Structure 1
Amino acid sequence: MTTLTADLKKNNKKVPVRGMMDNVMEQFNSASDYIGLHPNIRKILSITNNEIIVNFPVKMDNGEVEIFQGYRVQHNNALGPYKGGLRYHPTVDIDAARALAMWMTWKTSLAGLPYGGGKGGIKIDPSKYSQAELERITRRFTFALADNIGPEHDIPAPDVNTNSQTMAWIADTYMSTRPPAERTANQHVVTGKPDGSGGLEGRDRATGYGVYLSIKFWAEKNNEPLVGKKFIVQGFGNVGYWAAHFLEKDGAQLVAVQDAYGSIENQKGINVEDLFNYIKVNEGSIVDFPNAKTIDKDKFFALNCDICIPAALGNQITKQNAPKIKATLIAEGANGPTNVEGEKILIDRGITVIPDILCNSGGVVGSYFEWLQNRNGEIWQLEDVMAKLDKKMKESFNKVFDYAKNEGIDMRTAAFCIAIQRIEKAYIQRGIFP
């Protein structure tokens, strides 16, 4: 026990909980030390470029006005416009936005995209508001962000509790504030829009498909068939569902799911489509799904399985539950689901972690395709999108896998090294504006 922790306990004070920013900085510093990152570039990448906090009023259905706080953090744009999601969740704050924005910088760099990293959202529980209220909140948030976003500057996308409808509201509001001659040219201010509003066919499944591909590529590298592999999924939203959908098609078996409402298990298998159809009529919850038993939430990560897919929120796998995990592979569908202490335990136990900046990068790759489609006035077909996504994900996976194997390091450190080196090269070639 450290002196600080001991003193806090002795004085009956709450021990500080390690946040996502602590995790991302430790990951960044570890990789930077490994590659010998130039000190000046380390200084630049250790901080964010811009942090926007907006407070804005919205009239509720009952006529009362509520004040909301929204965030947009722009970490780095050395490689291109800021890119990253907007989430609506009670845990959204400036610290979380900073960490998520930094992860986006590494994610877009690793994927070889012409983007930097940004992230943000609103501190809100969307389940407490009507659809009409959420529309007004979203439009007012977009107006408050004003010129801090733009198709060549900062391009938001869906994240936790936001979706294609949210993006359509943002795009419409943003375009309405532009001069008439520029409105249609700004459609790509956001990605993840509905198909009929400039969205990319297949964007809805891109993140989950990327998670599946990462698992598939790992299995191929290790000569392990997916048929018969048991997997568990934390979070059965867009990412968790599509990852499970494609894994089941390859013969893997879903045996447990956890969401914000509860945890269920059936070691004989849970049919993915049956569960998906169930939650559509059960207010998005897996609770009381008839073909599985309810289990204690604290036992979820300790279940018997081969593959674990944390696809919910950050800091889910920690030093408390990492020793109990039975899976041999962790595929990070969420951003930052494994904290530093938890990952050290997993690595020491010989458990492979496919890191978030690689594993769930199918979403930002799909966003790039949508951005290109809008920018060029094209319409891409689903089969072309999936083929391009497959190729892009395989290139990224092979780079990380080979780097990790050749250097004798874990996949996260390898992914960070590759991502940081690409940005370092850009700074070295261009120099720093005096």
Structure 2
Amino acid sequence: MRTITAEVNNTKKKKAPVKGMMDNVMEQFNSAADHIDLHPNIRKILSITNNEIIVHFPVKMDNGEVEIFTGYRVQHNNALGPYKGGLRYHPTVDIDAARALAMWMTWKTSLAGLPYGGGKGGIQLDPSQYSQGELERITRRFTFALADNIGPEHDIPAPDVNTNSQTMAWIADTYMSTRPPAERTANQHVVTGKPDGSGGLEGRDRATGYGVFLNIKFWAERRKEKLKGKKFIVQGFGNVGYWAAHFMEKEGAKLVAAQDAFGSIRNTNGIKVEDLYNYTRINNGSLTGFPNAFDLDNEKFFTTECDICIPAALGNQITQKNAKSIKAKLIAEGANGPTNVEGEKILLERGVTIIPDILCNSGGVVGSYFEWLQNRNGELWHLDEVMAKLDKKMRESFNKVFDYSEKEGMDLRTAAYCIAIRRIEKAYIQRGIFP
């Protein structure tokens, strides 16, 4: 009896396990699936990934030594079309993160009405620790290791955290080099997010951030409000955060705080976006020490008085630990999975609106789709045409989610999931399951 009591006491002392990104995405999926009464067989299919590729590959470093890297590519579902999703270079990349991100991409492409499924992956590394030459060799070797697991009609990678148009150019060149000569130019759309001169789409660099801005703008319009004079904060001042802030400022909103991997800054009188961007370019990418703002403890970033918060960094940044401190009335998710389930519950109870990642940051994959079409059809689209098409596509998605949310009396994330999953369910019902 004493032994049993001791076990019970020890159990009480144990802390609940910290939920990972996969736990969050599955909880969100199951909530929406319950609401739409998703067919149990289709729920089984969508609850797992189709393929999970893990590759270990050697690369010679500048000093002549060989280092072994681990790369991942998870393909969640392709019921609607080829797998689509980014490749990130970050120490947090692992199979669990890749699974969650791939699943999110399935919902994102479905919600946007694109002929794509969802995939994600990357390499577990800190790119700041490697030279440009080393990163090129790592990227090319990773592409070779993936071999036939990617392809323009099968799985189409794109930039993500710590990868860019140069990364995509290396991948495209390596992949095309492995094809028969007659097929090489026909495989240019194996990746999207390429440089303008290598088959890239004009405006693709700003598509994700512009999409974040558009969703905020559409939200304000539905509330019959203006963005002019609104205060906003941005977590992550990379490609997404910068462009979102750029367009917000052009609309008359004021950036009052920003945070990146190096630290946080704040100025309640406003921070000029272009000044901060130019400063980071000469300060090794860091915003710390920016002369027109005060350095701020990272823990106090989310406590900044503001109207709008744009988390555009990594996942699980807004949690039960800081959700009560957030002053914003709107969270516009520029990153994938920045708000965990517990944090979201607290925010919703407080009346905070969350524009979910699969809607808010989908401008990137919509832009990727435009680039894919451009390459496929041998066309060349100009910036004004791209931005107009992006505006139209994003408005259609936002209105669809907002209207469903109001009709069903639910939050925007659940509404977005319901719409996305319904489209995939319809495809399976119409096609049937291969015996």
- Place the TM-score, normalised by the shorter chain, in its bin: over 0.9
SS of 1:83's partner is strand
Over the residues paired in the alignment, what is the CA RMSD in angstroms? 1.1
The gaps in structure 1 that reach 5 residues or longer are: none
- 1-side partners of 2:254 and 2:298: how far apart? 20
Query: What amino acid sits opposite 1:246 in the alignment?
Result: F
1:119: which partner in 2?
Answer: 120
- 1-side partners of 2:27 and 2:341: how far apart? 8
- 2-side partners of 1:366 and 1:273: how far apart? 23
Closer/same/farther in 2, CA of residues 264 and 9 from structure 1, 3 Å limit: farther
- 2-side partners of 1:34 and 1:274: how far apart? 47
Matches within 5 A, 1:386-397: 386-397=387-398
Query: What amino acid sits opposite 2:13 in the alignment?
Result: K
1:244: which partner in 2?
Answer: 245
Query: 1:8 touches 1:15 (CA, 8 Å); kept in 2?
Result: no
- 1-side partners of 2:95 and 2:366: how far apart? 25
- 1-side partners of 2:12 and 2:137: how far apart? 45
Query: 1:20 touches 1:336 (CA, 8 Å); kept in 2?
Result: yes
1:260: which partner in 2?
Answer: 261
1:431: which partner in 2?
Answer: 432
Closer/same/farther in 2, CA of residues 50 and 7 from structure 1, 3 Å limit: farther
Query: 1:151 touches 1:186 (CA, 8 Å); kept in 2?
Result: yes
Query: 1:231 touches 1:252 (CA, 8 Å); kept in 2?
Result: yes
- 2-side partners of 1:273 and 1:73: how far apart? 37
- CA shift, 1:411, in A, is 0.1
- 2-side partners of 1:283 and 1:7: how far apart? 48
- 2-side partners of 1:187 and 1:304: how far apart? 46
- CA shift, 1:224, in A, is 1.1
Q: Does 1:46 align with 2:82?
A: no
- CA shift, 1:7, in A, is 4.2
Query: 1:5 touches 1:15 (CA, 8 Å); kept in 2?
Result: no
- 1-side partners of 2:16 and 2:68: how far apart? 31
Percent identical among aligned pairs is: 84
Matches within 5 A, 1:264-275: 264-275=265-276
- CA shift, 1:10, in A, is 2.9
Q: Does 1:94 align with 2:95?
A: yes
Q: Deviations over 1:257-288 (max 9, x none)?
A: 00000000000000000000000010000010
TM-score (norm 1): 0.98
TM-score (norm 2): 0.98
Q: Does 1:77 align with 2:82?
A: no
SS of 1:366's partner is helix
- 2-side partners of 1:211 and 1:112: how far apart? 18
2:214: which partner in 1?
Answer: 213
Q: How many residues align?
A: 429
- 2-side partners of 1:356 and 1:62: how far apart? 41
The gaps in structure 2 that reach 5 residues or longer are: 1-6
- CA shift, 1:185, in A, is 0.1
2:366: which partner in 1?
Answer: 365
- CA shift, 1:193, in A, is 0.1
Query: What amino acid sits opposite 1:175 in the alignment?
Result: M
1:297: which partner in 2?
Answer: 298
- CA shift, 1:165, in A, is 0.1
- 2-side partners of 1:381 and 1:271: how far apart? 28
Matches within 5 A, 1:153-164: 153-164=154-165
Match of 2:13 among 10, 16, 20: 10
Matches within 5 A, 1:202-351: 202-351=203-352
List structure 1 runs of 4+ shifted beyond 2 angstroms: 4-11
- CA shift, 1:17, in A, is 1.7
